[in-house]
Each structure stands twice: as structure tokens, then as C-alpha cells.
Structure 1
Amino acid sequence: MSRQVIFYGAITLDGYLADDHDNLDWLLNLDTDINDADVSYPEFIKTVDTTLSGKNTYLTTKTLLDGADFYPDKTNYIFSKSLTTCDDGQIINDESATDFVRRLKQQPGQNIWIIGGGPLLSELLASQLVDQLQVQIAPVLLGSGKRLFDQLPEPTQLTLTNTTHFGSLAEVTYTIKH
């Protein structure tokens, strides 16, 4: 069986990952502690040995980590045409995410986590390489910002496999119908 590619992350009720300036204050200021043991992250992260992110997600996350290493116990791939170096040993990849992930899924290992959305997530969805979406929906309306999904070339059918809530967050898990 090939490895699973999973988007795991939080969005606003109106579908945004961040505001227009890649700011995540809406998430950090929730009345639910996203680091609380009651959220699904501690169990989820145990199933992952590889992360995929775009340049903006990587740089925003590095700022939030305040100098800490970017998932140091994982193999981390940053997809970027303009970023050439990282200060924490991440692997920068300027090839097609579709071709790369297709090969990566065939290698032995644990699950592969897509951190962030937008172009990377949308490309992998359009190529039918994403297996699951695990989305925490926050009770916030931003009105504009960075959307979870860019335009997709055709509808993607999903199957709801789980719902739960953690404080003010509703978490929905969908598998992708291929």
C-alpha cells in the first residue's frame, strides 16, 4: 500500500488559511488552545514522517516558531522556484509537485503531510494525489485572504469519514474519491 498524502490544518468558516498578509492571528487568538492535548494534532503527527509546503507557508511557519527548527524529526520538502536556501536543513524542491509526490508515495514510509494550501494543495488534488483532508474549522469570518483551495479544473468528490469538535473548532475528515 502506498503512503497517504493528507492535508491537515485549520481554516476560517469562510475558507481562509490566512489573511491577505499571511497573518494567522485569527487562529492564534481563538478561545481554544490549539496546543491543548484535546486536539487531534498529537495523534496525527505520530503518523507522519514527511512534510510538504510551499515557500510562503514555510516562511510564515518559521516566523511562528520563533527560531525553532521546522519539524526537525521529519523530512521536510519546500516547493519553491525562488527560495534557494534554508537555514534549518529543509530540502528545497523546484520540480513539479505532482511528479515528485507520485514518486514519494511509492517509497516506504509513513504518511505525508501537506502543510498549507493554495497552489500546492490544489495541484496535488487536481492530480489525484491527495488521499485525505483533515480540516479544523474555526468560528471566524475573515472576508478575504489566502484560500485553502485555488481553482480546481474539475469537481473533487469527497467522503465524510469523521467529525468531532475541540472547544470552538469543528474538525471534519474527508477521504478523496479517486
Structure 2
Amino acid sequence: MTRAIFYTASTVNGFLADPDDALDWLLAIPQDEATADIAAFTERVGVLVEGASTYEWVRGHEDLMEHPERWQQFYGDRPTFVFTRRERERVPGADIRFVQGSVIEHWPDIVSAAAGKDVWIVGGGDLVGQFVDADLLDEIVITFAPVTLAAGKPLLPRDLDHTRLELVGVRRAGPFAELTYRLPRAARDA
């Protein structure tokens, strides 16, 4: 069964990015131990989903218009759905599908593109919140970095209490702490 997983990094005080959507705070930390399991995770992933701000940051930060091969190094050949409200410039050679509207409207196409594998919701927090609202999010994997920011983009701008989040994993990866939460399917299976 295809699962929707929000796999992300956050500051200790719950920000995904700084106020300008940048991740410089994260990239300044040595990543060796923290990223050791990303290859195993991405092997289970058939499709990626991200918001326009995440897409624009990655495209700019990695200079993907000049070096489109960098897209393949990280995302591979996996289709990527980018939720946006306006036209975006496509990275040459990448399977990027710009969509508008609700996540529930596009969910059948996302599942089909995943071809039996998981869906990685890359970010941002508001898009993940839309998956929560549509009762489509199955798991949250958060790697907390030893950083705080005074302001920024929130991890998940939704209210979820202990009845919706089941802690299923805790791991230390160098200076990072990784927590894995499952969102029980009772509401979806009823």
C-alpha cells in the first residue's frame, strides 16, 4: 500500500526554514551521520511531492537550470508533483508535474505515479498540513537539528494531539535526533 510520508529536518523549536525559505541553518551542520539512512528511505519512494517554495529553493540553491544533472543526483528519475499557483520554470530533463488545486484532487495521480511505492512529501509545512486535512498523511519523520531560529516557516501549521500521533521510532544521528510518528488510520479505515 502506498503511504504518504513527511520526511524532513527541523530546528529544535519547530521551523523548517528561515523567514526567507532558506535552509542555510541546516546545511551548516555536518551531515554525514544524519544522512546515512536517506538512501534506504529513498529506495522505498516512488514519487515526491513539494510546494512551490521548496521547489524554488532547491532549484536556486542547487543552480539546477545550469546544472540539471544535480536534480538526478538527489531525486533520481522519480516523478515530482509541485503544488503551485502560477507558472514555474521546469528543470531540464526532470519529471516535474506542476499542479494546482487540492491534494485530494491530485491524490489518485500521485498514487498512480508512485507505482506501489511510498510518497515523500518533501515540504513545506502548509502542503503537509493539507495532507493532514485530507486525512492522507501516514507518517512523519522529523530530524531535529541542534539549531534554533527566532522566526521561520513552521514545521506543521496544524493542531495534532497525542491521539493522532503515535511515536514509533527514536534515533540519534550524530548531533541530530530523529523521531518517527505514525498517524493512526482508524479515521480513514472506519
**TM-score of the alignment, normalized to the shorter chain, above 0.5:** yes
Aligned to 2:12: 13
| Residues 19-69 of structure 1, C-alpha deviations (whole Å, 9 max, x = no match) | 001111110111x32x55863211101110100001100011122323222
Aligned-residue offset at 1:177? 1.5
Unaligned runs of 5+ in 2: 65-69, 186-190
Aligned to 1:59: 56
Choose from 148, 154, 157 the match for 1:147: 154
Instruction: Give the whole-Å Cα distance in 1 for the aligned partners of 2:81 and 2:35.
Output: 28
SS in 2 for 1:43: helix
Unaligned runs of 5+ in 1: none
Aligned-residue offset at 1:130? 0.6
Instruction: Give the whole-Å Cα distance in 2 for the aligned partners of 1:38 and 1:78.
Output: 24
Choose from 103, 110, 120 the match for 1:104: 110
- What is the RMSD of the two structures over their aligned residues, measured on CA atoms? 2.1
Q: Size of the alignment, in residue pairs?
A: 174
Which TM-score applies when normalising by structure 1?
Answer: 0.88
Aligned-residue offset at 1:99? 2.0
Aligned to 1:93: 99
Choose from 163, 175, 182 the match for 1:168: 175
Cα distance, 1:133–1:63 mapped onto 2, change above 3 Å: same
* Identity %, equivalent residues: 29
- Report matched runs for 1:15-164 at 5 Å: 15-30=14-29, 32-33=30-31, 35-36=32-33, 39-67=36-64, 68-69=70-71, 71-88=75-92, 89=94, 90-102=96-108, 104-105=110-111, 108-152=115-159, 155=161, 157-164=164-171
Aligned-residue offset at 1:119? 1.7
Cα distance, 1:36–1:66 mapped onto 2, change above 3 Å: farther
Instruction: Give the whole-Å Cα distance in 1 for the aligned partners of 2:14 and 2:87.
Output: 27
* Regions of 4+ moved over 6 Å: none
Could you tell me whether the CA contact under 8 Å between 1:54 and 1:116 is conserved in 2?
yes
Q: Which amino acid in the other structure matches residue 128 of structure 1?
A: D
SS in 2 for 1:22: coil
Aligned to 2:188: none
| Residues 56-106 of structure 1, C-alpha deviations (whole Å, 9 max, x = no match) | 000111223232226232111101011344133411011311221255336
SS in 2 for 1:9: strand
